[in-house]
Amino acid sequence: MATWLSMARKAAWAWVKGDQEKLRRLRRQWALECLIGEADQLTFRRDGTDWTVLVSDASVTKSLFLTGRHQAGTRARVLEWLEAHEYMPASRALIVDVGANIGTPCVPLALGTGRRILAIEPVPENVELLRRNVERNGLSERVTCVHAAVASKAGKVTMAIHPKSGRSEVKAAGGRQGFGDASEASGFVEVPAETLDAVVAAHGFRPEQVAFVWCDTQGFEREVLQSATEILKAGAPFFMEFWPRGLEAHGGVAAFLACVQERFASFVSTEDLIREGTQAMPRPVSGLESFAQAFGERQTDLLLLPGAGRT
């Protein structure tokens, strides 16, 4: 009841102010609330892009259905910065999306850059929607969907499935996931695991063709880096989630920071990208530990940059 009353008050105030855009968002929010418990999936078009989403996934679905955008500002700033600093020549024609979810990074990246995309996602239900969203937007020839987890060794991993699709993660050895106790998972599923180098090679690409890697794996980022030896040698930047709780569940923050410091020369924080745009200056990777300490338990993302020798 509180949700409905709050929306009604907001709608009345938006009507008084003549804020038509806010009224449209509130109507969409009202419609979405009515569908919860009544439908599993929702298909719609927003700003020229077709989406099929899980009604129950409050975070991704709400942002896409209400505004048509999910992480759009961050994604635009990352692309602008990489272009401005000459990290995306035409020869680097491939973007890799690790933890592609239902296509929220890769569909806009494909539409916005015209480049090939490898979209890698481990959760079967997400993969189904990922493929559907790629197909509905006419991107099947440019976006290759791969059902797998990315790990330091090929084989199998078990995914702990969270009711919110973007929060599913590899099952942690200690029983404590980034999202909380493993018992909070709605289920577990075993999926194939491949190294990032192997996935790129299996689809006919060379490491030096990778423009950058977009990575959101809920604390499993260290394993992703350990799986990408050849891609890192070729000098690909990585845009990675930094989530202390998730990292602690999968080997620890200290182990992740050490892994990053061994493989990259500098980094740009999301906050610097948003605030300063293309003028954001990379910080030496030696300062990443103090940055992490100052940031505390908050979640953010990091653009990790290679050193000299990029080809």
pLDDT mean over 149-157 = 97
Lowest mean per-residue pLDDT among 30-34, 123-127, 149-153: 30-34
Query: In angstroms, rounded to a whole number, what is the distance separating the alpha carbons of residues 123 and 184?
Result: 17
**Would you say the C-alpha torsion 301, 177, 259, 109 has a positive or negative sign?**
negative
pTM as predicted: 0.91
Per-residue confidence at 14, pLDDT binned at 50, 70, 90? low
Q: What is the pLDDT of residues 84-116, one digit of tens each?
A: 999 999 999 999 999 999 999 999 999 999 999
In the chain, what is the straight-line distance between the N-terminal and C-terminal CA atoms, in Å? 58
Mean pLDDT score of the chain? 90
Least confident window among 50-64, 191-205, 263-277: 50-64
Q: Can you list the domains of the chain with their CATH numbers?
A: 2-67 (no CATH), 72-305 (3.40.50.150)
Q: What is the mean pLDDT of residues 210-218?
A: 97
**Spatial separation of the C-alpha atoms in residues 128 and 292, rounded to whole Å:** 36
In DSSP terms, which residues pair with 11 in a beta bridge? none
Q: What is the pLDDT of residues 217-235, one digit of tens each?
A: 999 999 999 999 999 999 9
Residue 65, class by beta-carbon neighbours within 10 Å (0-12 exposed, 13-18 middle, 19+ buried)? buried
Element (H, E) at 97: strand 94-98
CA angle at residue 136 from 167 to 164, to 5 degrees?
A: 15
For position 310, what pLDDT does the model report? 46
pLDDT at 5: 72
* pLDDT given for residue 213 in this prediction: 98
When pLDDT is cut at 50, 70 and 90, the band that residue 254 belongs to is very high
- DSSP class of 28: H
Mean pLDDT value across residues 33-62: 87
d(Cα 10, Cα 27) in Å, to the nearest integer?
11
Could you tell me how many helices (H) and strands (E) the chain has, helices first?
13, 16
On whether the CB atoms of residues 263 and 237 are closer than 8 A, the answer is no
Is pLDDT above 90 for 118?
yes
Phi and psi of 71, rounded to 5°? 60, 25
Which of 13-22, 46-55, 239-248, 292-301 comes out lowest in average pLDDT?
Answer: 13-22
